[in-house]
């Protein structure tokens, strides 16, 4: 089952579930730690289906496709936060107490793939049933 997070309704529900009072996004216990690529092996190019690879670019974490469908890498932090919010929306307890280094394992147990278009917000999530 794929959930398209470009849908305003789904995106708003995910953000509400992951945010605290006042509309600000607090630091979450499950936020990815710097240097860890929690979506490694799950990200696919929406255009061709090739796997996106983790890279470091100018000191920042990113995912880049070897396919050439996109000209720039996609920011890892943005992607990981969107996926974290999507997982937390229906079941916050799955990630609430997870140590940051455990998120990659949790994502791989719950998700088949995350398909990414031209930017971090252009993604769809394929869940395991």
pLDDT digits (tens, 9 = 90+) for 68-123: 888 889 999 999 999 999 999 998 988 988 887 799 999 999 999 999 988 788 89
* 102-124 residues labelled b (16+ CB within 10 A) or e (exposed): ebbebbeebbebbbbbeebeebb
Q: Is the distance from CB of 87 to CB of 106 less than 8 angstroms?
A: yes
**The residue to which tokens 């990981």 are assigned:** 80
Polymer length of the chain: 129
Would you say residue 11 has pLDDT above 70? Answer: no
Q: Is the distance from CB of 127 to CB of 89 less than 8 angstroms?
A: no
Report the pLDDT value the prediction gives residue 36, as an integer from 0 to 100.
Answer: 81
């Amino acid at each position: 089952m794929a959930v398209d997070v470009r849908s305003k309704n789904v995106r708003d529900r995910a953000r509400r579930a992951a945010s605290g009072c006042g509309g600000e996004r607090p630091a979450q216990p499950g936020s990815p730690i710097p240097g860890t690529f929690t979506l490694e092996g799950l990200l696919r190019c929406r255009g061709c289906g090739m796997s996106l690879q983790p890279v470091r670019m100018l000191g920042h974490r990113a995912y880049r496709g070897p396919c050439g469908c996109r000209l720039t890498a996609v920011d890892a932090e943005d992607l990981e936060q969107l996926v974290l919010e999507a997982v937390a929306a229906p079941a916050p307890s799955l990630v609430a107490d997870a140590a940051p280094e455990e998120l990659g394992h949790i994502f791989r147990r719950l998700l088949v793939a995350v398909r990414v278009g031209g930017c971090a917000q252009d993604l769809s999530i394929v869940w395991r049933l």
